[in-house]
Chain A
């Protein structure tokens, strides 16, 4: 038997993806980060003049940034912290001795990120539609693709942090970075609205690129090539770093 007593690989990965998704959704703090804060941000931006001029209507200007924030919450902060503590408790070591293996673990986590992201998309997108959100139809598919690419980049970044420092440090770093990038990382507020000296740096951040790319797609139905390229580079760099330096124990 080529697989011995192992269940088929796809079944193992899907099963672990489901398991990780339930674990993430059961975690209260994670839900606050994943759903409550983005919805609060959505209301904040939709009912204030912070983004006036970015799009014709405030809600249309707000939603792309909030979706980008969802990606960062789930893929980077939430998943990074969970992985950091899994590493501390030896969970990664144990599961990597089962037929799931290390690759299966990472794929399972990626599935969980996408699944939680889907839940966020439904909640945030649904709320936004109720508030009158009208995304540019021609940009919706591109927007979904950018969300997935952003999830890949931030998952890799989260795994890189979680796999190299202590879980307490992962907790501190990913939360701090989340707050910083949410505030001045070009996610909710476009880089062009930030002080001029910061702008070039912000555009090169994965957060800035994801925010800009999503705004171009969902507001104008346009592909922002620079943002796409920057996100791709971040995914590859962080993916390489995580693979290279991840310590399993």
Chain B
């Protein structure tokens, strides 16, 4: 590339796609080899060896999470993230993420309940990209797990007349300082506060979550933060099944990427996605 050539967002997306592909082979070797090792394929495993291999496994998955968040973030910012359109049950998505996080927390800190308050009035099925929705909510949850060292975590769901699903994630951590708050959606931002768990991410989860939400026409924002905890909120416009054309009901289609990147500033935060 010459210095006169304009830099477009398409190039980073292509580079990311290539990098994503090339990193997945070595990650396969790391994860399968460590699984084989733990299952005794190379001989008896001592407790110390098991802890060492566990570190290899956990950090392999950290690298994969970084790769996937970065890929999703870059594609969303470039308007090249192809959102799927299908109908899905929102409460099942919430139950799934709650169980995933609760399981992780239980393994590492049994004193941190993860509460889920489902909305009574939400339609049984919404239309949108359930995988992207799940990624957004999980990013908020991992952020709560990583940066609130202890205390409960609450997930609350709400449905508005404007066909907007809001999901808030509240933690009981020390809060985010006023000086850090304007920066938490910047990619790779690390404020004074350090993650409290060893499997924390790289500061990309909140950026990715906001970029995906904005691509859907929604948003992710910090609702409030105080010394007794922080609340992040995802507001996602998701039509009810009856509000979309019959052809979309129960079907899966892919929405072509937007022609131009969103005009919003680059998002992000100190969010891990182990």
Judge: A and B partners, yes or no.
no
Residues of B within 8 A of A (CB): none
